[in-house]
Structure 1
């Protein structure tokens, strides 16, 4: 996962994002611009991260920019949701600036101290004059930020108590990051929350293993937090006061003999792979090509039919292989042209040799003729045609013949010398050309093994073999990738999430089998494993009884992995399948189609937090291809990715551990022990409540499928009331396949459930007719709302942490929250203190 991927797959990179020496840059798209300077926050050290002194900064511009970025909101623009809730604030630049300042200031105040609930009274004290004068606006902004999980989330001390006139029960299925986030937030809102978890532990696919006997904890599931700017897990780490370890982006790669591979060669291979991905991006997004026409004599009949309908969709693995083949063809074509030119030179050399030989023969013939007639160049009388008297015809003919032969000899000698020179020049040209012989292949076997390592890295980042991944939108979530370092939690990411689950009503070992819902409520039936009463205190039998129980609730939030939803869709006999859940009524077609389309994977040196290893074949490229360490802890985590992940299901733990030790011994020699102190193999793809690591864009899927999986099951198709809700990493298009995405989806659904059962937040003014509700969509097309709010308002403010004591006209400074009483019609907060004689 992007933030904490299960250990059977390596984390991104993420590009979303490097694993190995600048490994594959997944994204070909530009990230969302929140209008801030992220470099400061992205480069925070561990000390700064834990203190986050930026929120104490007297430079208010920096603090509010940073606060907005950490909340994944643009600091200088209103989102579409904000325009819906605050339409009157968008009518002028001044009102927009006012809204943005109060919103960003509230965010900064929360992030300054996330251990304590940020109450309305506290923010009114911190706002400088005159921004705290409009109590209704400040209240609405505070309610909005709280409702949708921008403030007051995670593990913090509550200062207010929320109560309903009537008890409202919400059942949350699954105690992973999404379920725990939603349950804790719903409890904070005042709901009665029950969490049902099938496993005997919390945290789902985040699993921190505690080996005991002095061994440090180790993450065997989600482990790496990728990026800190905007990542909600950073807030959780601060709240739980855990320690972080920054990942070293440089990852040395070792060959099968234990030697480091050539860095220059690796850089060349990596550049080639990135060029291939860039080429795919251009072909897909600029040319619109996602299919191939297989209508050829060698094609199968069904493929011909597909071709006639516009061709067959190809996956990412096929596209990469096609481009590799094209590069191979280009190399072969270049090689063929080289040999054709070489053949021409050889033919010219042969012709020059034959010409030289012909002139040599002509010279020999002339010399023989002259010798036979006793004529030499040294005896010119033999050629003299001057006579003192009469001469015989024979003598005249002889002299003329010798004279002609001598002329032929001169011509032959000159021709021979020219032919020899020509041959010498052609031979030199041929020798030089031989040195220019191009490569016979695009990549040799050694190159391919390095490329296979990066393919395995890419497969682990995506969460599936490349042959199953969608070509067009495989990296669609990279648009929302977080900036900053990659980090791990020294105590384990599970330790962080376990504290989120504190004080929640969590029932472990409860396997949900049926969800029956209608307009009146929801019945959730589940099996709970327990020992019979008469055997609990005795030894002997370890028999476990499965007792079917049912909970009546007002709504249910389903956060089970996508793999379990797939089992629900595909399994006929729900009761015989440990993980399948029956929905009554059945899930609608639009939901089941989206479930079917999206994919789900079944899948030292202490200064180096990771190092890679080259395997011998393409088929084995993902076997223990990379190892991760956590600081100075004596722990190494080896990963399997892609097709190789299935190998773990057929091998014993001992065999896998031995293979890992063989690899490590070749790399580190005698420094490597012969046996590990302890080892464990996860096999997430065989876990009955996971069946893999995380979702991915399968070939044929669409980004909108994430939105459909997040859509509640509305009663009677009415968009204003639902009983069944969905959360999880597979339901958030912006941050799928990540722990932070799962957590954010839980906060999202908590807000949605509150909107339905408590009541939506009322807009301050008229309605805005806009269907979009993406927190990252902003109105800035004409530049009306895209401006720096500090340039619009003259702000003089107290330092954070102090209160404004100079307000004589408004007595809101001393407001403190005593209790918030919630009814069905909305939230009414009763405060103890003066407020112009009125209660808000």
Structure 2
């Protein structure tokens, strides 16, 4: 979090010291892997140049990348075997970008808007105590009891005139009703649920129903799943200076249609493993990433089934069938989480950054006093350039706080808000 670290311009995630394993049980040439990585990200950078282009060559990032790869293959002087290996390596980076974008396929990501996403400068920060360390810090300055947990909200009613049941007083325009029957009245409510939750529940979660343009934005924007799988080993099988283990399936290509048999091939979507650093803090832990429908299928399996599949991969990649299985497996399950229904948003084909702005717009009862917004929206899916990120979520919350502060500061009335 130091000022020096935050001034570093890494252009995204810095390249880590890595080892690349192939499905044939061999280590791939680092120079070959690096050349394909450079090619992929060069082509990916080109997709950001269509932001203000009127006539689009195609609709999705994936289509553009595959068309560009086809042109590259024509120029390769290699034989068929080397061309296939290069395509297999490129396919690994297609999968990696699916994890970054939170999508099943880059064919689902809109080409026109891809350049709007902004990479924040500075190095990634990991909170030693997890995200709870951040939220605990935020809550430290709040009055005790002002933050309530395990209060599942059923419906938010707005545009009404609700009275306190015991204290009387002036009416409130918003009523929040929880699953256990408890009710809370307010002048304003800030909704920060995921886009996935809104896709599944917006019809019943907010009453009166959302306006058509906001419903359309919810439906059109993309929301996918990206899960992590942690494996804790007694002893490492990787080199001490290695921080990333990449996986390349030599029979795959971004130009070929992937297998639809999730039962048999879900684990092929795994891009590899990051080595958690430092080992003195975490032990010998690998963190794998997997996105899309394969990631969602993984959530339906038992830990034993996941472990068996991953050990099959590791034995195959290393060529060592005698490696001891990890002593512990831990994995996320964002798609199964009823309050998330996935991981984070992306601008899908058929949507644009304008949909993000529409989603971020508050709801106001025009006939209400001062026309103040009653229902406000924040969260990563409401930030036009930082969607899918923690900093985007944080900034969107600040944006809505500033919105209310500005409105009240400019309000001629002396009436104070009731929160």
TM-score, length of structure 2 as denominator length: 0.77
Q: Which residue of 288, 308, 313 corresponds with 1:658?
A: 308
- Deviation for aligned residue 1:492: 2.3
* Residues 117-160 of structure 1: CA deviation (Å, up to 9, x unaligned): xxxxxxxxxxxxxxxxxxxxxxxxxxxxxxxxxxxxxxxxxxxx
User: Match of 1:324?
Assistant: 69
User: Match of 1:255?
Assistant: 22
Instruction: State the alpha-carbon separation in 1 of the partners of residues 188 and 411 from structure 2.
Output: 20
User: Match of 1:601?
Assistant: 224
Gaps of 5+ in 2: 161-171, 227-237, 259-264
Task: Answer with 1 or 2: which has the greater Rg.
Answer: 1
- Deviation for aligned residue 1:677: 2.2
Instruction: State the alpha-carbon separation in 2 of the partners of residues 630 and 727 from structure 1.
Output: 33
CA contact (8 A) 2:174 2:374 kept: yes
- Deviation for aligned residue 1:587: 0.6
Change (3 A) 1:715 1:677: same
Gaps of 5+ in 1: 1-45, 55-226, 232-245, 293-313, 335-437, 528-546, 575-580, 763-822, 827-840
Instruction: State the alpha-carbon separation in 2 of the partners of residues 670 and 446 from structure 1.
Output: 22
Instruction: State the alpha-carbon separation in 2 of the partners of residues 745 and 230 from structure 1.
Output: 24
- Deviation for aligned residue 1:749: 1.3
- Deviation for aligned residue 1:247: 7.5
User: Match of 2:100?
Assistant: 461
Q: Is 1:615 aligned to residue 249 of structure 2?
A: yes
User: Match of 1:535?
Assistant: none
Q: Is 1:567 aligned to residue 200 of structure 2?
A: yes
CA contact (8 A) 1:474 1:696 kept: no
* Residues 367-391 of structure 1: CA deviation (Å, up to 9, x unaligned): xxxxxxxxxxxxxxxxxxxxxxxxx
User: Match of 2:349?
Assistant: 699
User: Match of 1:512?
Assistant: 153
Q: Which moved more, 1:722-731 or 1:251-260?
A: 251-260
- Deviation for aligned residue 1:263: 1.5
User: Match of 1:185?
Assistant: none
- Deviation for aligned residue 1:588: 0.9
Instruction: State the alpha-carbon separation in 2 of the partners of residues 476 and 521 from structure 1.
Output: 36
* Residues 519-541 of structure 1: CA deviation (Å, up to 9, x unaligned): 641011111xxxxxxxxxxxxxx
Change (3 A) 1:281 1:725: closer
Instruction: State the alpha-carbon separation in 1 of the partners of residues 188 and 218 from structure 2.
Output: 21
- Deviation for aligned residue 1:441: 5.3
CA contact (8 A) 1:554 1:723 kept: yes
Query: 1:341-380 maps to which residues of 2 (within 5 A)?
Result: none
Q: How many residues align?
A: 371
- Deviation for aligned residue 1:489: 2.6
* Residues 547-583 of structure 1: CA deviation (Å, up to 9, x unaligned): 32221112111000011111134x5xx4xxxxxx1x2
Instruction: State the alpha-carbon separation in 2 of the partners of residues 608 and 730 from structure 1.
Output: 34
User: Match of 1:728?
Assistant: 379
Instruction: State the alpha-carbon separation in 1 of the partners of residues 145 and 198 from structure 2.
Output: 25
Instruction: State the alpha-carbon separation in 2 of the partners of residues 611 and 734 from structure 1.
Output: 30
1:651 aligns to what SS in structure 2?
A: coil
Query: 1:773-788 maps to which residues of 2 (within 5 A)?
Result: none
Instruction: State the alpha-carbon separation in 1 of the partners of residues 183 and 391 from structure 2.
Output: 31
CA contact (8 A) 2:52 2:112 kept: no
* Residues 417-438 of structure 1: CA deviation (Å, up to 9, x unaligned): xxxxxxxxxxxxxxxxxxxxx4
CA contact (8 A) 2:26 2:318 kept: no
Higher relative contact order (CA 8 A, sep 6+): 1
- Deviation for aligned residue 1:721: 1.1
CA contact (8 A) 1:615 1:623 kept: no
Query: 1:179-190 maps to which residues of 2 (within 5 A)?
Result: none
Q: Is 1:589 aligned to residue 212 of structure 2?
A: yes
Instruction: State the alpha-carbon separation in 1 of the partners of residues 149 and 354 from structure 2.
Output: 33
Change (3 A) 1:607 1:489: farther
Instruction: State the alpha-carbon separation in 2 of the partners of residues 286 and 482 from structure 1.
Output: 21
Query: 1:304-315 maps to which residues of 2 (within 5 A)?
Result: 314-315=59-60
2:114 aligns to what SS in structure 1?
A: coil
Change (3 A) 1:630 1:686: same
- Deviation for aligned residue 1:660: 2.5
Instruction: State the alpha-carbon separation in 1 of the partners of residues 381 and 145 from structure 2.
Output: 24
2:182 aligns to what SS in structure 1?
A: strand
* Residues 449-492 of structure 1: CA deviation (Å, up to 9, x unaligned): 211111111111111121211011124122xx222223323332
* Residues 11-61 of structure 1: CA deviation (Å, up to 9, x unaligned): xxxxxxxxxxxxxxxxxxxxxxxxxxxxxxxxxxx7xx2xx6x8xxxxxxx
1:733 aligns to what SS in structure 2?
A: coil
Query: 1:44-83 maps to which residues of 2 (within 5 A)?
Result: 49=2
CA contact (8 A) 1:230 1:482 kept: no
Change (3 A) 1:463 1:709: same
Q: Which residue of 55, 60, 66 corresponds with 1:289?
A: 55
Change (3 A) 1:636 1:733: same
Change (3 A) 1:261 1:703: same
TM-score, length of structure 1 as denominator length: 0.40
CA contact (8 A) 1:511 1:526 kept: yes
Instruction: State the alpha-carbon separation in 1 of the partners of residues 173 and 322 from structure 2.
Output: 60
User: Match of 1:688?
Assistant: 338
- Deviation for aligned residue 1:679: 1.2
User: Match of 1:495?
Assistant: 133
* Residues 296-320 of structure 1: CA deviation (Å, up to 9, x unaligned): xxxxxxxxxxxxxxxxxx2221222
**RMSD after superposition:** 3.4
* Residues 46-88 of structure 1: CA deviation (Å, up to 9, x unaligned): 7xx2xx6x8xxxxxxxxxxxxxxxxxxxxxxxxxxxxxxxxxx
CA contact (8 A) 2:195 2:218 kept: yes
Q: Is 1:477 aligned to residue 98 of structure 2?
A: no
Instruction: State the alpha-carbon separation in 2 of the partners of residues 608 and 723 from structure 1.
Output: 52
1:489 aligns to what SS in structure 2?
A: coil
